[in-house]
Chains A and B, each alone.
Chain A
Amino acid sequence: MEVLRITTSGSVDDGKSTLIGRLLYDTNSIPQDKLEALHAASKRKGLDFTDLSLLTDGLVAEREQGITIDVAHIYFSTPTRKYIIADTPGHVEYTRNMVTGASNAQVSLILIDARKGIVEQTYRHFFIANLLRIPHLVVCINKMDLVDYDQNRFNEIVTDFQQLLDNAAFKEQVVRFIPISSIYGENLATRSEKINWYKGEALLEYLEQITFDHGDSNHPARFPVQHVIRPKTDAYHDFRGFAGKVASGHFNVGDEVISLPSMQTSRIKTIQQFETQLATANARESVVITLENEIDTSRGNMLAKPGQEPAALKEISAHICWMDQTKLVPGKTYLLQHGINRVKAKVQGIQHVIEVTTNRTIEDKKELGLNDIGKITLKTAHPIFADAYHVNPANGAFILVDEHSNATVAVGFVE
Chain B
Amino acid sequence: MSNQINWEFPQALEDEAIYILRETAAQFERPAILFSGGKDSITIVRLAQKAFYPGKIPFPLLHIDTGHNFPETIEFRDQLVASLGVDLVVRNVQDSINQGKVQEETGKYASRNALQTVTLLDAIEEMKYDACIGGARRDEEKARAKERIFSVRDEFGQWNAKMQRPELFDMLNGKIHIGEGVRVFPISNWTELDVWNYIRREKLDIPSIYFSHEREIIERDGMYWPYSPFLNTTEEEVPFKQKVRFRTVGDMTCTAAVISEADKLEDIISEILEAKISERGARMDDKRSEAAMEKRKQAGYF
Contacts and interface: CB of A to CB of B under 8 A. Distances in A.
B82 to A, nearest CB: 18
A408 B1 contact: no
A370 B262 CA distance: 53
Interface residues of B, number: 60
A77 B192 CA distance: 12
Contacts of A76: 2
Given A1-B8, A32-B277, A244-B22, A73 B145 contact: yes
Contacts of A335: 175
Contacts of A243: 22, 51-52
Contacts of B38: none
Interface string B5-31: 010111011111011001101100000
13 contacts: A60-B291, A61-B161, A70-B164, A79-B2, A82-B194, A96-B166, A99-B166, A227-B25, A236-B55, A274-B53, A286-B14, A337-B171, A411-B166
Pairs A-B, 6 closest by C-beta atoms? A58-B142, A31-B278, A32-B276, A286-B18, A33-B281, A406-B175
A57 B161 CA distance: 13
Nearest to A40: B290
A29 B173 CA distance: 33
Interface string A213-249: 0000000000000110111010110010101110000
Interface residues of A, number: 74
A408 B19 contact: no
Contacts of A275: 53
Contacts of B164: 70
B169 A59 contact: no
B56 A1 contact: no
B139 interface: yes
B204 interface: no
B1 A31 contact: no
A340 interface: yes
B52 to A, nearest CB: 6
A63 B294 CA distance: 12
Nearest to B289: A60
A58 B1 contact: no
Interface of A: 1-3, 26-29, 31-34, 41, 56-61, 63, 69-80, 82, 84, 96-97, 99-100, 103-104, 189, 226-227, 229-231, 233, 235-236, 239, 241, 243-245, 273-275, 284-286, 288, 299, 323, 335, 337, 339-340, 397-399, 401, 406-408, 411
A274 B2 contact: no
B143 interface: yes
B146 A71 contact: yes
Contact of A226 (B10, B23, B176): B23
Interface string B158-192: 00011011111111010111000000000011010
B189 to A, nearest CB: 6
B302 to A, nearest CB: 17
A75 B2 CA distance: 13
A226 B142 contact: no
B54 A189 contact: no
Of A32, A99, A275, A408, the most chain B CB neighbours within 10 A belong to A408
B54 A236 contact: yes
A78 B281 contact: no
B193 interface: yes
A231 B57 CA distance: 10
A333 to B, nearest CB: 15
A77 B277 contact: no
B19 A226 contact: yes
A345 to B, nearest CB: 14
Interface of B: 1-4, 6, 8-10, 12-16, 18-19, 22-23, 25-26, 49-56, 138-139, 142-143, 145-146, 161-162, 164-171, 173, 175-177, 188-189, 191, 193-194, 275-278, 281, 290-291, 294
A28 B277 contact: no
B228 to A, nearest CB: 24
Contacts of A73: 138-139, 145-146, 188-189
B189 A84 contact: yes
Given A71-B146, A72-B145, A236-B55, 14 more contacts: A27-B2, A31-B277, A32-B275, A63-B291, A73-B138, A79-B2, A100-B167, A104-B169, A235-B54, A244-B22, A286-B18, A398-B171, A407-B165, A411-B166
Contact of A77 (B15, B49, B193): B193
Of A75, A97, A233, A273, the most chain B CB neighbours within 10 A belong to A75
Nearest to A241: B54
B55 A229 contact: yes
B15 A285 contact: yes
